[in-house]
Copies of this chain bind each other. A is one copy, B any other.
Amino acid sequence: MSRRSGILEFAVLGLLRESPMHGYELRKRLNTSLGVFRAFSYGTLYPCLKTLVANGWLIEEPGSAPEDALAASLAGRRAKIVYRLTAEGKEHFEELLSHTGPDTWEDEHFAARFAFFGQTEREVRMRVLEGRRSRLEERLEKMRASLARTRERLDDYTLELQRHGMESVEREVRWLNELIESERAGRDQRRSDPGGPARDDITSGETDGLPRHRDDTGPDPSDDTVK
């Protein structure tokens, strides 16, 4: 079994479910594509991959990543290990995907879970979103209480820090409210088919029901590693 990181394991399985990859690329996707939910170092990633293999959830395949097709056809390819999800791995990931629980709504866990909502069933999405929300509301209450008790003893900067902190949390609650409402509105559930093939070409239009937001992004390719 092996109690590996949880969030890293989850994210790796989720990314590999979409398509096989080698470690280096995996790490980049962890930072960038899969928005922001921390950068893991190679010293963490590679050993993690090893244990996932040991668990039978991944297999290592030598060389020839998809893009490499031409180059790979030539003789001696070595190093560059591509990891592919096994059937058991897929199954295990589905299990993780359907699991909801208190840990699920903790900060980092939540981000990871949300990032894979595209493969998560509507019901589960709901539970996670609502769990997260009540988690934050609970947090807010504590903050308010503590603020009420201590406000006069605190200097202005400390107060300002708390105010900003609380506002951030309140903002996330509003965000969750929007999301939950959208979920409720989008009355179709997609993806109740565990173990299907990798991904049937995304880029489609409407996903269940996300709130629409303004869109502004100029082209500007540059480096990786957001952090």
Contact surface of A with B, Cβ cutoff 8 Å: 32-36, 111, 114-118, 139, 141-158, 160-165, 168, 171, 175, 179, 202-203, 207, 210-211, 213, 217-227
Q: Which of B157, B164, B223 lies in contact with A117, CB distance below 8 A?
A: B157
Q: Which of B33, B165, B207 lies in contact with A35, CB distance below 8 A?
A: B165
A156 and B125 CA atoms in complex are apart in Å by 14
Which residues of chain B come closer than 8 Å to A152, judged between CB atoms? Answer: 203
Q: Which of B116, B154, B165 lies in contact with A36, CB distance below 8 A?
A: B165
A151 and B203 CA atoms in complex are apart in Å by 10
Which residues of chain B come closer than 8 Å to A148, judged between CB atoms? Answer: 217-221
Which residues of chain B come closer than 8 Å to A225, judged between CB atoms? Answer: 142
Q: Chain B nearest CB: distance from A176 CB in Å?
A: 10
Which residues of chain B come closer than 8 Å to A151, judged between CB atoms? Answer: 217
Q: Which residue of B lies closest to A156 (CB)?
A: B207
Q: Chain B nearest CB: distance from A177 CB in Å?
A: 13
With known contacts A145-B221, A149-B221, A163-B213, A158–B226 Cβ distance under 8 A: no
**19 A–B contact pairs at CB < 8 A?**
A32-B149, A33-B153, A33-B154, A36-B162, A117-B157, A141-B222, A142-B223, A142-B226, A144-B217, A148-B220, A153-B202, A153-B203, A154-B202, A155-B207, A156-B207, A157-B207, A160-B210, A160-B213, A163-B213
Q: Which of B147, B207, B227 lies in contact with A217, CB distance below 8 A?
A: B147
Q: Chain B nearest CB: distance from A150 CB in Å?
A: 5
A218 and B219 CA atoms in complex are apart in Å by 47
Q: Are A146 and B115 in contact (CB under 8 A)?
A: no
Beyond A35-B165, A115-B161, 16 extra complex contacts between A and B, CB < 8 Å: A35-B162, A36-B143, A36-B162, A111-B161, A118-B155, A118-B158, A142-B222, A142-B223, A145-B221, A145-B223, A148-B218, A154-B202, A155-B202, A156-B207, A157-B210, A168-B171
Q: Chain B nearest CB: distance from A182 CB in Å?
A: 10
Q: Chain B nearest CB: distance from A91 CB in Å?
A: 22
